[in-house]
Amino acid sequence: GAGVSQSPSNKVTEKGKDVELRCDPISGHTALYWYRQSLGQGLEFLIYFQGNSAPDKSGLPSDRFSAERTGGSVSTLTIQRTQQEDSAVYLCASSLERGNTEAFFGQGTRLTVV
């Protein structure tokens, strides 16, 4: 596609349920990032994929959070046993490669845990 696509755009889930958020990066982009943005807050880094290298998971807030990237393209962020503090906008970005290239963001998934 023309840009980074995220789905769903909105997700309401009950506390304790698992959710999966999807990111389709721009075709050919080898770097993929996940961030989250809580209401009125800045962007919090979650995880970063670069090509076939091991992902940088240093930003994942707990072991309830995990992400994978299949075939170097689509990525799924999974949150298990959701909590109310997980409510936020989850943003995905991709770039051609990590270094001197521009990063492009999707429109985000707004997750609400009730």
Partner 1 sequence: KQEVTQIPAALSVPEGENLVLNCSFTDSAIYNLQWFRQDPGKGLTSLLLIQSSQREQTSGRLNASLDKSSGRSTLYIAASQPGDSATYLCAVITTGNTPLVFGKGTRLSVIA
The contact set with partner 1 (CB under 8 A) reads 33, 35, 41-43, 45, 48, 50, 53, 56, 59, 91, 93, 98-108, 110
Minimum distance from CB of 48 to partner 1 (Å)?
Answer: 4
Three-state SS sequence of 25-39: CCCCCCEEEEEEECC
Q: Please list, residue by residue across 38-76, b when 16 or more beta carbons sit within 10 angstroms of its beta carbon and e when fewer do.
A: eeeeeeeebbbbbeeeebeeeebeeeebebebeeebebe
Adjacent-strand bridge partners of 61: none
Minimum distance from CB of 85 to partner 1 (Å)?
Answer: 19
Minimum distance from CB of 51 to partner 1 (Å)?
Answer: 11
User: Which one, 74 or 103, has the nearer CB to partner 1?
Assistant: 103
User: Which one, 8 or 16, has the nearer CB to partner 1?
Assistant: 8
